[in-house]
Amino acid sequence: MVQIMGKEVGPTGFGLMGFTWRAQPCPQEQAFEAMREALQQGAVFWNGGEFYGTPEYNSMVLLERYFEKYPEDADQVILSIKGGLNLQTHQPDGSPEGTRRSIDNCLRQLNGRKKLDMFEFARRDQKADMKETFTIIQKEYIDTGKIGGISLSEVRAETIHEAVKHAKIVACEVELSLFSTDVLHNGVAEACAQYGIPLVAYSPLGRGFLTGEIKTFDDIPKDSFLRGMPRFQPGGNFENNIKLVHEVEELAKKKSCTPAQLAISWVRALNGRPGLPTIIPIPGATRAERVRENSKVVELTSEEMNAIDQILNGFKPVGARYPDSVPMET
């Protein structure tokens, strides 16, 4: 049983980024169908962002419209929203002014349709005093019932150890997939387990790479931000990294499931391993049929997990998770 903030959320969550953070967002009704399907599949933990798209069409705008049409769904959803960025510069802003601006804007755009269950800074602002920032959130927003709790995002272990001294941390969102296993070895997962903090695994499909639908660099849409990601660059990186995709495809054939289902199931299967916290993957999808695919639970045996461990032990991804301009492990 996977729980966040004391509430059962199902083994898989739902990432909202792809609905609004792209050059050509999918039609709103298509998004609504996928969102309703997520609830039907038990994926009630939803994760979005203030900066996922334009100020005129981001996660909150989409959510406000969705809950206007389906108000009965609001109480089912546990909603986490990332903010804390300067929307002009996209730099972290944990100052008192920046903190209030971001949370107030998220609440305003939700328009009372849905409670903001947790707020998380997309990156830690190294210039801000964490105690001061968290005190503002606690006294002005949590104690007054405006939001439910504080989550962390893209942090290193030291940040987790510091954060728990100043606030109750209800979740920690970090990248975790067969392509990105760093948090299992750098102390982040260990720190989450130490403090009983659920780990929210974003990009469990390696930004779509592990679905097997991308065969060559040219298969990446020309307007996709993936073309700027180091791990997808041709000339060595792409060619090395797709080897793991081929391994995943072979395992999926033997398991009679899709590569995506195998990749997500591996993340889920980490729950219960010694020294690891509760882990919930949050794959995104813009179509209802993809939501159904991602939500299907495929049980992996200990032998199959050991086989995957052996593959990962012999594989090293080439290229950083983000370009140098994007902060990581803050």
Q: Catalytic pick from 52, 66, 141, 202?
A: 52
Query: 288 is written with which tokens?
Result: 């209802």
| Positive or negative torsion for Cα 316, 319, 324, 325 | negative
The residue behind tokens 């882990």 is: 279
Q: How far is CA 127 from CA 88, 123, 158, 330, in A?
A: 18, 12, 16, 12
Amino acid of residue 3: Q
Strands of the chain (E only): list them. Answer: 3-4, 7-8, 14-15, 45-49, 78-83, 118-121, 150-153, 169-175, 199-202, 279-281
3 state DSSP class of 13? coil
Query: 116 is written with which tokens?
Result: 């903001």
Catalytic-residue membership of 52? yes
The residue behind tokens 């000339």 is: 235
3-state secondary structure 136-169: HHHHHHHCCCCECCEEEECCCHHHHHHHCCCCCE
Q: Nearest-CA neighbor of 106 among 137, 131, 129?
A: 137
CB-based contact 11:294 (threshold 8 Å) = no
Active site residues: 52
